[in-house]
Structures are given as structure tokens and as C-alpha cells.
Amino acid sequence: MQVGIDKMSFFSTDYYIDMVELAKARQAEPDKYLIGIGQTEQAVVPATQDIVTMGANAADQMLTAADRQAIEEVIVATESGVDQSKSAAVYLQRLLGINRYARTIEMKQACYSGTYALMQARDYVTLHPEAKVLVVASDIARYGIATGGEVTQGAGAVAMLVTANPKIAVINQDNVFMSDEIMDFWRPNYSTTAVVDGKFSANVYRDFFKEVWERYQEKNHQTLADFHALVFHLPYTKMGLKALRDVLPEADEDKQAQLMEAFEASRVYNKRIGNLYTGSAYLSLMSLLENDPTLQAGDKLGLFSYGSGAEGEMFSMTLQANYQDGLVANQFADLFNRRQKVSISEYEQMFNDLLFGSEDRELDTSADVAKFVLAGLKDQKRQYIER
Ligand code: COA
């Protein structure tokens, strides 16, 4: 029996900034941001969205009533959790109308935990073929205003439904993974922004990729020639490019050109949304699925997941014939048409306006057109509403 990703859906906010404008405001060369980092736009989060609402808004677009009855686990992967105790998944269960006989859990290991959640889902469905598992990777990447990492911020959520006989891709049982305790990026409980040793983290990412890729090839007797595409965790899109370039010489010229084309397709959306930590590799997968016209049923797609701290994992998927049927039609076109550009000073205000405090607060939700919004904090309880 084959198990994998049956449906995928994405949500990001209705606001963004232009990286040329950010570069100018920070006295940087625009090409550093556009080419050196590989980002053109960045999602900006209003106070009325958080990882719970973004996750609900992503998943709701793809779930049928039958799915909501059949889901046996809801797993949220995030490093922007809104509570140290209660999982975002149990909020999602209620907001999405998922049946009460589902497990709900939240997972954490920097940007990696979406991949663990996906593997837990695959393994559960392999044991229980009638079950469906909802995996949601939702994050707000926050480094701080005028910091080195600011150009690599972003936000959004990817929702994936894992089932037997999936529409999009079968997840193969070929995973290779490694962990090593490293201080390249972390976020202590007292901070709303990440602490990062940026260049070190990029080097650790590359080292992990090379080591995991070598082990993957040895274990599975595969080479680059077996893959249509390698999909990467993209904290910023140049990161994946660096990793891909590290291994490209292993392939012949034609294969190198084809893998580069696939890589370009896989970063179209990430360039415009920015980093979404746990969801970044899966946004990149969606970007590949929607922007690579040469994809064919049976193509093998490799995915490299990395989470600082640090953990890396490589696995492959086999593309299914009607993979487009598992995506929500026009979802990205609609988002990019709908969202509004804000100025750098407006973004700075919004950055400082998110709901982190303990004081009661009522938020004006009238400007937010999303179905699920955060309406404020009352008696220490976050007020999630559906419109
Ligand atoms: N035109 C084109 N490229 C330019 C340029 C220009 N005018 N000016 C600079 N660049 C290039 C640099 O050569 C460099 O390329 P390279 O990485 O291939 O060497 C790139 O732009 C970045 O420049 P750099 O001076 O290294 O930038 P920085 O000191 O501001 O740091 C990061 C960049 C990515 C380290 C920083 O943004 C960061 O810390 N981000 C968060 C890190 C992160 O996401 N870590 C998690 C990994 S999982």
C-alpha cells in the first residue's frame, strides 16, 4: 500500500514589503537582497493573524466534510507557538470542525519539525490505511527590525493531508537523517525574535546536506540522475541554491541544467513570501508542482529538510499522475493579486503590533478578509473567530 500527500494548501497574509524598498531603507544594495539573498518580497503579518489562524486558513481551503470526519491526527509543526502548554492543533481541531476522536499535538525542532510531522503521519496511515492525518506547518519568521536576518523574514502556513493512495505524491520509505547539538539559531522563551549566527547556520546547513545526501545515496543506491528535482528547505532562496551547487557537479551537463530549471521553479513562491520556517520546504514543493511544466507522473522528487539546532533529513517522493487535483486551484494567483504592499514604516509598526503581551486587548478585524482571525486577548485567552 502506498501512502503520501493527498492534498496541499497554503495561506499567507494580505500584506507584503518589497525587498528593493527594504534594501534602500537599510542602506543595502538592492541586488544583495534580490540576488545575493534571493528574495524579492516578504509577507508581513497583521496582529489579527498568528500561527493558529494561518494554519486554519490554509487547511480549511482543502478539507471536505468527509475529510474532517476521517482525520485521526492533527499535527502542527511550528517554532512560533502561541502557548507553552496548549497545542495549536487542538485550536485547529475546533476551528476546522474536525471530529473529536482525533489526536492533537504540536511539534518543535526549529524548521525541521514539519518533516517529522509528515513522517509520523505517513507511518500512522501505513498502519491504519483508512485514516487521514492533517499536518500543518505554520510559522512567523522574526529576526527583528534592521537585523542581519531581517531580509529573511516571512510568514505563512502549509497544510497537508496524508492518506493512502494519495493524489499528489507517495512518500518513499528511504529517509536518512542526522542530528547534532549546535548553536546556530535558537529562540529563548524570553524573546519574540530569533537569535542567529547567520553565516554559521548557512554553513551547518550545507554540511548537513552534504553528509545526509552522501548517506542517502549509499543507503538507497541512488544518484542525482535518479531525481527530477531536489527540493530544499529555503530560509532564503539563495540557501538552497548554494546547497544544490555543492552537489551539481556529480551529474552530467544535461542533468545539471534540468535540476537547475526545477530549482528555479521550486523557489518562485518562496522568493515572494519569504521564510516560513517549518513550512518553507513544503512551500517550495508547492512552487515546484505549480511552476515546473516538465513534471511527469513517476518523477522522483528529493526533499532536504533542515532545522537549526540542528537536524537534517532527506527523503524522496514519487509524483502521482493527477497531482494537480490535490492542489487548490488558483490559490497562489489569488493571494498575489489580493495582497497589498505596505511601506517599510508601516511594516515596522505591524512588526511591533503583534499580540505578545498579557494585557486584555481587542483587535480590529475589519481589515482582515481571512475566514479565521485573532480578535484579541480576553482573560488571558486568545480569541479566535470564524467569519
Ligand atoms: N549583488 C549581488 N550579490 C551580492 C551583492 C550585490 N550587490 N552584495 C552582496 N551580495 C551577496 C554576497 O556575496 C553574499 O553571497 P554568498 O552568500 O553567496 O557569499 C550574499 O549576498 C549575502 O551577503 P552577506 O554579506 O553574506 O550578507 P549578510 O552578512 O547580511 O548575511 C545572512 C546574510 C543570510 C547570513 C543573514 O541574512 C542571516 O543571518 N539570515 C538568517 C540566516 C538563516 O536563515 N539561518 C537559518 C538557516 S536554516
CATH 2.40.30.10 is the classification of domain 3-170+327-386: no
Cβ(185) – ligand 1 distance below 6 Å: yes
**Residue 85 one-letter amino acid:** S
Same fold, 3-170+327-386 and 171-323: yes
User: In the prediction, which pLDDT does 57 show?
Assistant: 98
CATH 3.40.47.10 is the classification of domain 171-323: yes
Per-domain boundaries in the chain: 3-170+327-386, 171-323
Cβ(30) – ligand 1 distance below 6 Å: no
- Mutating to test ligand 1, I would choose from 27, 32, 183, 232 the residue with most ligand atoms within 8 A of its C-beta, which is 32
Report the nearest atom of ligand 1 relative to the CA of 198. 39
Catalytic residue list: 79, 111, 233
User: In the prediction, which pLDDT does 1 show?
Assistant: 87
pTM exceeds 0.85: yes
Starting at the edge strand found earlier in the chain, the sheet holding 361-362 runs 361-362, 372-378, 381-386
Cβ(151) – ligand 1 distance below 6 Å: yes
User: In the prediction, which pLDDT does 142 show?
Assistant: 98
Distance 37 CA to ligand 1 centre (A): 5
Report the nearest atom of ligand 1 relative to the CA of 308. 48
| Run means of pLDDT, 10 residues per run, the chain, 387 residues | 98 98 98 98 98 99 98 98 98 98 98 98 98 99 98 98 98 98 98 97 98 98 98 98 98 98 99 98 99 98 98 98 98 98 98 97 97 98 97
